[in-house]
A and B are shown apart, each in its own frame.
Chain A
Amino acid sequence: MTGRPQASAQRPVTATCRWRITAVFAAWIAVFALLGGRLFDLQVLQGPLLQRLAVRQQLESIRLPGRRGFILDRTGSRLAVNVEADSIYAVPRAIADPEAFAREVAPYLHLTPREVTARFRRGGPYFAWLARRQPPEAIDAVRALQLGDAIGIWPDTRRAYPAGTLAASVLGFTGVDDAGLAGLELQYDGSLRGVAGIGTANRDAIGRELVQTERIVSPPHDGNTLVLTIDQVVQHVAERELTRAIAGAGAQGGVAIVMDPQTGAILALVTAPTFDPNRYQAAPPARWKNRAVADVYEPGSTFKLILVAAALSSHAVRLGETFADPGKIRINGATIHDAEPPDPKHTTLSLTEIVKYSSNVGAAQVATRLGKDRLFAYIERFGFGRPTGIDLPGEAAGIIRPVSQWYGPSLQNIGFGQGISVTPIQLLVAASALATHGVAVRPHLVEAIRDAAGHAIATPGNLPPRQVIEPEVADQVVAMMREVVEGGTGVKARLDGYAVAGKTGTAQRPGPFGGYEPGMYVSSFVGVVPASVPRLAILVLVDRPRGVYFGGDIAAPAFREIARQVLWYLRVPPAGAVE
């Protein structure tokens, strides 16, 4: 381009221009100096402080939940699960008008404004629980209020028992912090409880977690799952029949246990009255206790099984030996009489007939022949006086006084089950040992513990059985138990098609201040079925029935109904089956 002014390129730099250039340069230098100074201030002088602030603002600590393990019955049905139930908290510092806030929030939490205000005061300025583990509807309603920073939702879960009251005393329940407080929830709390993990992650400007910056400090672990020996159908049958028996007798409570005598697996364990573990606070604490393992009672005539087993095993009495039964007898200053008036046809009784007709007089004579030391030794061999080791908390050992404290007619009384206290589970284990040729199993409720991946990591009930009495003696006692059901006091337990072996029991209830409560009894029946190859050992105990109180009338029919339905459910064919 020829038109470009050649002179401009060669124009001399004037003083003004130089001044301007210097000024601009100085300004640049000044700006950069300021920026550099500020940079030095931020990076060096205030660096550590600002770094801490930035970490506090950007770095978030994440709680990685570890869920509590499930409890399943032996068929895999869920008996205890977790459901979402978030908790609601308030930030009192962010609430301008606490009274108005309380009035606004209270209806959705089923609280009064005064209660909401009280909960504010219990917490600190930045955090106060308002309501723990609320249903989703309540959470949604509170969210809809749009109270901003004044309120927060804490993700949480709640333990739920879908079958309601079913096996409540076995399962137990958990508290507000997911800790087991009763039953298997307490016994296996260490296995069931999940361990929450901790992680860190950066947050963006609006508080969202930046996943790519997430670091797991300690990983979470879900709790293990318990697979029970309980079968919810068997449990339901036992609960229904025990409830009917209690209602029919006007009784105050009862216990029913169904066990596999070959393995010790408890198929059903019922205590009545029961409670709903979903709302355990609504029931009196006395109901939370599992009476089948934690309560002791005088076993009454069911204990005669132990007496005759001991007498035969120690050869103190021969099988065919007979004893006179005048209806009452005076031993060591006490008069012992039979529960029912003497039958003129049975003035002398064999050992089998003592069991069959539940003769106290005959049992007292057998006990006298046996002696204190030998009877005590056999009582211990059958496991009385110490816990069976069943996997439930609070198991009682029973009350067996040492021989040195057996005064007066104690020996004879203990022979027919008075003056001694046992737990229902102890008696069932002892009776089932007779049915399995003298082998006592360890009762257990947990078949397996599975980890979160489903692998079995423990089988708590897999313990070796122990021989408590000679097999031939056990068989002889079982034959006597069959006589009880065929024509003795337990005929109401007879079941068509199945050989039932059992024993009735009717014991007086000890009073709180010594002696016995007048008119108060414990009716019981313990038996096995089928007697030849037992599949079920069942104990039914009814506490304080009104009117008729004999075990053969109150507990034996309940035993029969439970056995009949459970045998059908388990597909155990009757012996004399119809073709």
Chain B
Amino acid sequence: MTPAFQQRDSSFLMLIPEHWGSRGKEATRRRRRRSPVLVVLTVAALTVLPFLAYIAETSNAAHIGYRILQLTHDIAALESEHERLQAIASSLRAPDRVERLATARLGLQAPRAGQIASLPLPPIALRHASPSLPGWWERIDEYFHRSEAAAAEPPQ
């Protein structure tokens, strides 16, 4: 027993329960443990905690929103750049320009009459040329090379 306990014990009035049994002893022990400051702090914390969580969530959402906004602007800028580059690519592929470069810079000439020949295939060649199903290796090869093939020649 500490002296302080003794003093408090002697200073405060106590209501003695009518039945001083085991329940009364336990209640006394509980009352001794519960500090009012702690209770107040706990209640306050429990009250404030949802608000803090809400604020944290809102702040986090705002932060992510700013990030999304930034990314949206980036996407718009990239799309705009993509369209600009597409326009440039189309102008570079313009037939007039290609022909001008081919004839003036590379010295190429358009094929003249008689330079184009149609080669009829004999029946035996036709039989050999009948389409056969490609194997898995050809399919993989075709998958990796089809974009170049498509770019090389316009579909007829």
With an 8 A cutoff between CB atoms, is B95 at the interface? yes
Stretch from A110-118, A204-212, A330-338 forming part of the interface with B: A204-212
Picked from A84, A162, A212, A568, the residue with its CB within 8 Å of the CB of B116 is: A568
A213 to chain B, nearest CB (A): 8
A233 in contact with B154 (CB, 8 Å): yes
Write the nearest CB–CB distance from B37 to chain A, whole angstroms.
Answer: 18
Binds B, one of A75-83, A123-131, A321-329, A353-361: A75-83
Please, what's the 1-or-0 string for B51-93, where 1 marks a CB less than 8 Å from any CB in chain A? Answer: 0000000000110111011001000000010011011111101
CB proximity of B43 to chain A, nearest CB, Å: 22
Provide the bound-state CA to CA distance between A77 and B86, in Å.
10
Which one, B27-35, B117-125, B131-139, is touching chain A? B117-125
Contact yes or no, A75 B83, CB < 8 A: no
Q: Tell me if A's interface is mostly helix, strand, loop or mixed.
A: mixed
A75-B155, A163-B94, A577-B120 known; A84+B80 contact, CB < 8 A: yes
Whether the pair A164, B96 counts as a contact (CB closer than 8 A) is yes
Contact of A164 with B66 in the complex, beta carbons under 8 Å: no
Determine whether the beta carbon of B87 is less than 8 Å from that of A577: no
Does the CB pair B113–A577 fall under 8 Å? no
Q: Out of A84, A164, A210, A577, which one reaches B117, CB within 8 Å?
A: A577
A571 within 8 Å of B (CB atoms): yes
B38 in the interface (beta carbon within 8 A)? no
Question: Contact at B95–A83, with CB atoms within 8 Å?
Answer: no
With known contacts A2-B3, A83-B83, A236–B120 Cβ distance under 8 A: no
CB distance from A2 to the nearest CB of B (A): 5
Given contacts A78-B86, A210-B65, A211-B65, contact A232 B95 (CB under 8 A): yes
Contact present for B83 and A81 (CB under 8 Å): yes
Q: Which of B94, B99, B113, B156 contacts A571 (CB under 8 A)?
A: B156
Beta-carbon contact of A496 and B69 below 8 Å: no
Whether A163 contacts B90 in the complex (CB less than 8 A), given A1-B4, A211-B69, comes out as yes
A565 to B64, CA, bound (A): 59
Chain B residues touching A, majority SS = helix
Given A209-B69, A212-B65, is A81 in contact with B90 using a C-beta cutoff of 8 Å? yes
Contact A162 B119 (CB under 8 A): no
Contact present for A166 and B95 (CB under 8 Å): yes
- Asked if B46 CB lies within 8 Å of chain A CBs, one says no
CA gap between A2 and B83 in the complex, in Å: 87
Given A78-B90, A164-B96, the answer on whether A212 and B62 have CB atoms closer than 8 Å is yes
Residues of A within 8 A of B94 (CB): 162-164, 166, 232
Within B92-127, the residues touching A (CB, 8 Å) are 93-96, 99, 110-111, 113-114, 116-120
Complex CA gap A209/B67 in Å reads 11
Docked CA distance A82–B119 (Å): 45
Q: Does A573 contact B (CB under 8 A)?
A: yes
Cα–Cα distance between A204 and B66 once the two chains are bound (Å): 10
Chain B residues with CB under 8 Å of A6's CB are 7
Known: A578-B118, A579-B120. A570 touches B95 (CB 8 A): no
Q: Distance (Å) between the CB of B148 and the closest chain A CB?
A: 16
In chain A, what residue has the closest Cβ to B155?
A75
Q: Judging by beta carbons under 8 Å apart, are A573 and B111 in contact? A: no
With a cutoff of 8 Å between Cβ atoms, the chain A residues found around residue B68 in the complex are: 211
Closest to A565 in B: B110
A160 interfacial contact with B, CB 8 Å: yes
A81 touches B86 (CB 8 A): yes
Contacts of A66 in B (CB 8 A): none
Complex formed: what's the CA distance from A240 to B93 in Å? 16
Q: Which chain A residue lies CB-closest to B88? A: A162
Known: A83-B87, A84-B80, A164-B91. A574 touches B66 (CB 8 A): no
Known A-B contacts A75-B155, A232-B95; the reply to A82 vs B118 at CB < 8 A is no
> Does any Cβ of B come within 8 Å of A564's Cβ?
yes
- Report if A163-B118 is in contact (Cβ < 8 Å); known contacts: A211-B69, A571-B156: no
Is the Cβ of A236 less than 8 Å from the Cβ of B96?
yes
A158 to chain B, nearest CB (A): 10
Q: Is the CB of B95 within 8 A of A233?
A: yes
Tell me the minimal C-beta distance from B146 to chain A in angstroms. Answer: 15
Q: Which of A511-562 contact B (CB under 8 A)?
A: none
Asked whether, in the complex, the Cβ of B3 is within 8 Å of the Cβ of A574, the reply is no
Chain A min CB distance to B64 (Å): 8
* Min C-beta distance of B114 to chain A, whole Å: 7
Q: Point out the residues of chain B lying under 8 angstroms from A233, CB to CB.
A: 95, 154
A298 to chain B: closest CB distance in Å?
A: 33
Alpha-carbon distance between A162 and B87 when the two chains are bound, in angstroms: 6
Closest to A577 in B: B118
Bound together, the chains give a CA A294 to CA B110 distance in angstroms of: 34
Given A84-B83, A209-B69, A210-B65, A568:B90 Cβ within 8 A = no
Task: Please state if B120 and A208 are interface contacts (CB–CB under 8 Å).
Answer: no
What are 10 A-B residue pairs whose CB atoms fall within 8 Å in the complex? A1-B4, A79-B90, A83-B83, A163-B94, A164-B91, A164-B96, A210-B65, A213-B65, A240-B99, A578-B117
Given contacts A78-B86, A84-B83, A162-B90, 18 further A-B contacts (CB under 8 A): A1-B3, A1-B4, A81-B83, A81-B86, A160-B87, A162-B91, A162-B94, A163-B95, A164-B91, A166-B94, A166-B96, A211-B68, A211-B69, A235-B95, A564-B113, A568-B116, A570-B156, A578-B117
